[in-house]
Structure 1
Amino acid sequence: MPDLSKMKKPDVKVVLLGDMNVGKTSLLHRYMERKFKDTISTVGGAFFLKQWGPYNISIWDTAGREQFHGLGSMYCRGAAAVILTYDVTNWQSLAELEERFLSLTDTANHDCIYALVGNKADLTDPRAQLPPEAAGLPEDQTEEERTEPRVPSACPTPPASPTSPSGALLHKQVAGEDAAALYGRILRYKGLDEKGSLPAEKMCFETSAKTGYNVDALFETLFDLVLPSILRKRHENQESPTVDLEDFRGVGTKRARSTCC
């Protein structure tokens, strides 16, 4: 977690939701620290502050354990984007998103963007076992180049692969069609027009925190999509600037003293 005394004020909030052991924390570490870390279950919640171009985005990692379930709606309050995460090798983790976690997003912004993310794709798809540089990301690319805003690209969910040359792949329990169907139900739950909303093929991802597969595409696509929320929020703050109470008190004191006999 960043040093609060040196932390810049975030422009928007992005929240990760999902059952325990789906890899939410590992996804966040892969994106922020450019490496995979074996992690323990998150207690309560934690966040990173990401500087993306001229903007600051807070990314919240929430606990998936049942005893911390009630905190989820608090962390989602005012969120501009929610990443609903499941494990592609665990059907129940997808079902839990609809049964337990979707209602927590009621406190998010009315124009909140939702992404469905199936993590651990390296266990089912040989393409996800490739390191990021093999997928077209140069090893010598700088962090500044990585964080520059760019035009979002569609990241279609890769199809299931039943076997690999080594024969070590696990059975894939959640197909891309299952995730797309849930995305449609999320839009209906939120009362959103499916025709006017972002399509499932653009908002359903499969990732691997272990290899980095599709992780950058996930976060940077979302950052591009929340840009209108950032600009609108900044515009509202300019129109309604906050009042410095200390300055106000100082003016009031001077006036009081000047009228005193």
Structure 2
Amino acid sequence: MPEVSKMKKPDVKLVLLGDMNVGKTSLLHRYTERKFKDTISTVGGAFFLKQWGPYNISIWDTAGREQFHGLGSMYCRGAAAVILTYDVTNWQSLAELEERFLSLTDTANHNCIYALVGNKADLTDPKAQLPQDSDPSKDQTECGVERTDTQVLSACPTPPASPASLSGITLQKQVTPEDAMALYGRILRYKGLDEKSSLPAEKMCFETSAKTGYNVDDLFEALFDLVLPSILRNRNESQQSPTVDLEECRGAGNKRAKSGCC
């Protein structure tokens, strides 16, 4: 695993938010490593650096546990997109997005894009139980692990696959697409955005399965396309406002001081 200091500078940031056990990290592993992993609950947060064409996108994975709730707003700072994740078999996980996590996005960019993602669709939808074709030729993601004090923030925040998922049992869906789209409308109103001029709910609400890969690629690729204007804007601003090399400035100042000395 590469050290954070050696990683490329990201052009834009995406953040996953949601309650514990909804499968946030499993979604990332499915997309970046093309496989499903049994994982454990996170401590704090971690990020993955994805190279998408000529651009570098950091995807921040956050903890859903109550004790780490305050860190969420820090991770959302400057985010171009936020993926609000819930479990389609757990109504409370959708309610938690509005009650606990939405306010954390106040530190995101003013033009931040919001997507609602219902994970574990394979537990309720037969068509999501079919394994999706994996493409091993896809670029692998570099994974960075953030540290706070002496505690490592795990890059694997989600729980193991549930017995129902492993046995092929179909569970009752508690959250419908209509429920998710209704919440998306409330998110836009909370942000003071005009629903008519914003991205439509049909395009920003997804159902996925990290276990089978159902809709996972579609989710991330769609968001990468949507944040492209932010990437181009950031690069343009960087070119117009180049950074100043402080070491060069200090060297030039020393030279002037020596030349003026008797």
Normalising to structure 2: TM-score of the pair?
Answer: 0.88
* CA distance in 1 between partners of 2:54 and 2:256 (Å): 41
Partner of 2:138: 143
Partner of 2:48: 48
- Counterpart of 1:20 in 2: which secondary structure? coil
CA 217–236 in structure 1, closer or farther in 2 if over 3 Å, else same:
same
Question: Which residue identity is paired with 1:7?
Answer: M
Partner of 1:150: none
Partner of 1:97: 97
Work out whether residues 2 and 49 of structure 1, in 8 Å CA contact, stay in contact via their aligned partners in 2. no
CA offset digits 1:91-140 (Å, max 9, x no partner): 0000000000000000000000000000000000011011112xxxxx55
- Counterpart of 2:254 in 1: which secondary structure? helix
* CA distance in 1 between partners of 2:39 and 2:138 (Å): 24
| 1:235-250 correspondence runs (5 A) | 235-250=236-251
Partner of 1:17: 17
How many residues end up aligned between the 2 structures?
Answer: 236
- The answer to whether 1:3 aligns with 2:9 is no
CA offset digits 1:161-203 (Å, max 9, x no partner): xxxxx98210000000000000000000000010000000000
Work out whether residues 2 and 48 of structure 1, in 8 Å CA contact, stay in contact via their aligned partners in 2. no
Cα RMSD between the aligned structures?
A: 1.5
* CA distance in 2 between partners of 1:15 and 1:52 (Å): 16
CA offset digits 1:230-258 (Å, max 9, x no partner): 00000000000010000000000000100
* CA distance in 1 between partners of 2:65 and 2:135 (Å): 38
- Counterpart of 2:92 in 1: which secondary structure? helix
Partner of 2:27: 27
CA offset digits 1:10-62 (Å, max 9, x no partner): 00000000000000010011111111001111110000000000000000000
* CA distance in 2 between partners of 1:4 and 1:19 (Å): 27
Partner of 1:159: none
| 1:70-89 correspondence runs (5 A) | 70-89=70-89
- Counterpart of 2:89 in 1: which secondary structure? coil
* CA distance in 1 between partners of 2:169 and 2:63 (Å): 30
Work out whether residues 123 and 168 of structure 2, in 8 Å CA contact, stay in contact via their aligned partners in 1. no
* CA distance in 1 between partners of 2:212 and 2:107 (Å): 33
* CA distance in 2 between partners of 1:40 and 1:142 (Å): 28
Normalising to structure 1: TM-score of the pair?
Answer: 0.88
Partner of 1:148: none
Question: Which residue identity is paired with 1:94?
Answer: L
* CA distance in 1 between partners of 2:67 and 2:261 (Å): 60
Greater relative CO, 1 or 2 (CA 8 Å, sep 6+): 2
* CA distance in 1 between partners of 2:217 and 2:209 (Å): 11
Work out whether residues 44 and 63 of structure 1, in 8 Å CA contact, stay in contact via their aligned partners in 2. yes
Partner of 1:152: none
Work out whether residues 76 and 108 of structure 1, in 8 Å CA contact, stay in contact via their aligned partners in 2. yes
CA offset digits 1:51-77 (Å, max 9, x no partner): 000000000000000000000000000
| 1:54-65 correspondence runs (5 A) | 54-65=54-65
* CA distance in 1 between partners of 2:15 and 2:202 (Å): 21
Structure 1, gaps ≥5 residues long: 134-138, 145-165
CA 26–242 in structure 1, closer or farther in 2 if over 3 Å, else same:
same
- Counterpart of 1:143 in 2: which secondary structure? coil
* CA distance in 2 between partners of 1:116 and 1:79 (Å): 15
Work out whether residues 85 and 119 of structure 1, in 8 Å CA contact, stay in contact via their aligned partners in 2. yes
The alpha carbon displacement at 1:141 in A equals 6.5
Partner of 1:255: 256
CA offset digits 1:195-224 (Å, max 9, x no partner): 000000000000000000000000010000
Question: Which residue identity is paired with 2:47?
Answer: F
* CA distance in 2 between partners of 1:140 and 1:8 (Å): 24
